[in-house]
Structure 1
Amino acid sequence: MSIPGQDTVEYGDILVLGPDEGKDYWQPVPANGSISVRIDPEILKIQSPFSLGTQTLPPASYVREHYHPIHDEVLHFIRGKGKARIDGVEHIVEPGVTIFVGRNRRHMFINDSDGELHWLWFIQPNGLEIFFRDIGIEKYPGQPAPEPFPRPKNVLDIEKSTSFGPPLKDPYIPTFEAKK
């Protein structure tokens, strides 16, 4: 196929992934759950490098408070209910909620519900997908979730080399009520 009058057009890549395709990883505590990296510059030629994927957070889990010095992030919540904490302000997240988090904004995600919290994430420039790969355990379709496992001992080096700022001196740590 060609574009009329433009014989020298350079075409970008096309990728269509099925539900069980992508790069999937189990995540360590406190997030637990899993990540599916769907788009990244390692698998496609992307004009402006970014990565995109999904994250599933089980009940009584959270993505620790952090920030990205040079990255902008978008999150769109698909399933479940929980909280996003951005610069100390809590926001309810549920299906249909979209959040933009600009660089250097402290943020975290908390699943304080009884069901899984699931969202789509987009970050530019890329780097988050490398972090997920390097701290996680490869996940295969149909595989049961592993027992909770710790973050790797070199997690601070991994964070520094991917998309995270230095550790926060006063991170917020959520508590979860025991279910009766």
Structure 2
Amino acid sequence: MKDTLLGPDAMEWLGVRYRTILSAKDTGGAISVTDSVSPSGSGPTRHIHHDANEIFVMLTGDSEFWLEGDRFTRGPGQTVFVPRGKEHTFRIVSDVPARHLVILTPGGFENFFSEMANGKFRIPEDMPKIEAIAARYKLTFTGPPLGLDDLETDQ
């Protein structure tokens, strides 16, 4: 993706571009906001944020979310609230990249994205290192990402 999409200070990890627009440092730890652009078909493995609520504000594209077994799709102008301690994931299902804001309360998780981008960690090759770093951010991985084979279809 082009640097102009999020600006020159954006970072990239596994094809996803991130730019912190409000850090925990800026808010006394209360909140962080990250602008994210994810390519079609991308999405993280299932995971749990043990200490943070997470809010997604969809700006472009469509994402299928999985939250504790429930599946639903959200697009531009829609939001998703994931309470702390709830297993979740998402996958971009539109043909175009999805841009969304990731808001976490309390803040601090934005530094995980930075560590992953700076370390150029790969999945699955670097999972032991990724999991060790994730533990510092009170994040655990619980299962695979959503894939094409597990999409529900209307056929």
TM-score, normalized by length of structure 1?
A: 0.70
Match of 1:174 among 146, 149, 153: 146
CA distance in 1: counterparts of 2:67 and 2:57, whole angstroms: 15
Higher-Rg member (1/2)? 1
What is the count of residue pairs matched by the alignment?
Answer: 141
More strand by share: 2
Q: What root-mean-square deviation, in Å, do the aligned CA atoms of Structure 1 and Structure 2 show? A: 2.3
1:60 offset after TM fit, Å?
Answer: 1.6
> How much has 1:149 moved relative to structure 2?
6.8
| Residues 90-169 of structure 1: pairs in structure 2 closer than 5 A | 90-137=71-118, 150-151=122-123, 153=126, 154-165=129-140, 167-168=141-142
Amino acid at match of 2:22: I
In the aligned structure 2, how far is the partner of 1:81 from the partner of 1:64?
A: 18
State TM-score, norm by structure 2. 0.80
Q: Distance in 2 between matches of 1:174 and 1:110?
A: 6
Write out per-residue CA displacement over residues 37-63 of structure 1, whole angstroms, 9 at most, x where no aligned residue: 111133x2x245221111111012112
CA distance in 2, matches of 1:108, 1:122: 15
Q: Measure, in 1, the Cα distance between the counterparts of 2:138 and 2:108.
A: 5
Percent identical among aligned pairs is 18
Larger fraction in helix = 2
Amino acid at match of 1:27: W
The answer as to whether partners of 2:89 and 2:145 remain within 8 angstroms in 1 is no
Stretch moving more, 72-81 or 46-55: 46-55
Alignment match, 1:58: 39
Report the Cα distance in structure 1 between the residues aligned to 2:138 and 2:107, rounded to whole angstroms: 8
Residue identity matched to 2:21: R
Residues 24, 108 of structure 2: 8 Å contact kept: no
Give the distance between the partners of 1:157 and 1:172, measured in 2 at CA: 18
Contact 1:112 1:176 in 2 (8 A): no
